Amino acid sequence: MQESSAVALTDLVDYLDRYLETASFADASANGLQVEGGGPVGRIGLAVDACLETVSLASKKRCDLLLVHHGLFWGADLRLCGHMYQRVRGLIRADIALYASHLPLDAHPEVGNNIQIARRMSLADVRPFGFYGGRQIGFQGDLEGRASLQDVIAVCSERIGPPKSLLRFGPEQIRRVAVVSGSASDPPLLEEASREGIDLLITGEPKQPAYYLAREYGLNIYFGGHYCTETFGVKALGEHLSARFGLPAEFLETACPY
């Protein structure tokens, strides 16, 4: 890319912080700029996870900014040892900045993981769902008409990806669908799904107690994979940034099976 088309990192970070409302979320993830780069941004890499494979791909693609859903820093442990050292070392050696957006990217009403899946499922009357960390981070909506659970599972497989697991304890006719990507099977969320009359919950990966709760609440749950259900947000955000700033943005696939 030509030098004149590059954008200052500070301008991109300021825009992302505002657009994603980064500071308004209580999150275990250290959302925002996690590793600073040394120059302007001419190419953006997009990924779900800030793993060493992703860092290596970003370096090969000559990205100046790596934008991920799952960043490096969670909680208070900031020791740069072992795999953490290797990841940060790879970023610094290639002079790649790292920006992470966890819950803000799940919840965003335009480019977020959950709204993107809701749109792929052609849900109508889309409204907030999934209270977590003091905010609603997911969405619920209605199919155009009632459909059999088997038919809706087939649509999910086509538009989201094959299921990693299914829990079929709910109704056989589906109308109301809720979407919370990642690992959304905690007791409060399943209780909310029961209270809201959700016929099918779409999420990523199960926690073991979800089996019993789904059975006791009478819920159908489609587990599309943590990685797979969280590819949609970073891709949509990359398209948004490309349109706004004229920068190439490429999704870096790592093919995580979980």
Going from the N-terminus, what domains does the chain have, and what CATH number goes with each?
A: 3-101+231-251 (3.40.1390.30), 107-224 (3.40.1390.30)
**Mean pLDDT score, 47-66:** 97
Residue 2: its pLDDT value, please?
A: 37
3-state secondary structure (DSSP) of residue 176? strand
Is 49:238 a contact under the CB 8 Å cutoff?
no
pLDDT for 5 equals 84
The terminus-to-terminus CA distance of the chain in angstroms comes to: 35
Q: Which of 21-30, 72-81, 137-146 has the lowest mean pLDDT?
A: 72-81
What would the mean pLDDT of 230-249 be, rounded to a whole number?
Answer: 97
Averaged pLDDT, 127-150: 95
User: What tens digit of pLDDT does each residue of 163-184 get?
Assistant: 999 999 999 999 999 999 999 9
Task: Please say if the pLDDT value at position 4 is more than 50.
Answer: no
pLDDT of residue 3: 41
Average pLDDT over residues 13-32: 96
pTM for the full model? 0.94
CB-CB contact of 151 with 121 (8 Å): no
Q: How far does Cα 18 stand from its chain's mean position?
A: 18
Q: Kindly state the average pLDDT of the residues 141-163.
A: 97
Say whether pLDDT at 1 is over 60.
Answer: no
- Compute the average pLDDT of residues 43-63: 97
Quickly state the pLDDT bin for 78 (edges 50, 70, 90): confident
| Distance of alpha carbon 99 from alpha carbon 35, whole angstroms | 7
Instruction: Report the percentage of the chain scoring pLDDT > 90.
Output: 93
Name the E strands within the chain. Answer: 32-35, 44-49, 65-70, 97-100, 124-132, 135-148, 165-168, 173-179, 200-203, 220-223, 249-251
Residue 140: pLDDT over 80: yes
Mean pLDDT computed over every residue of the chain: 95
The pLDDT tens digits for 180-197 are: 999 999 999 999 999 999
Q: Give me the mean pLDDT over the 126-151 stretch.
A: 95
Report the pLDDT averaged over residues 218-222. Answer: 98
Q: Is it the case that residue 204 has pLDDT exceeding 80?
A: yes
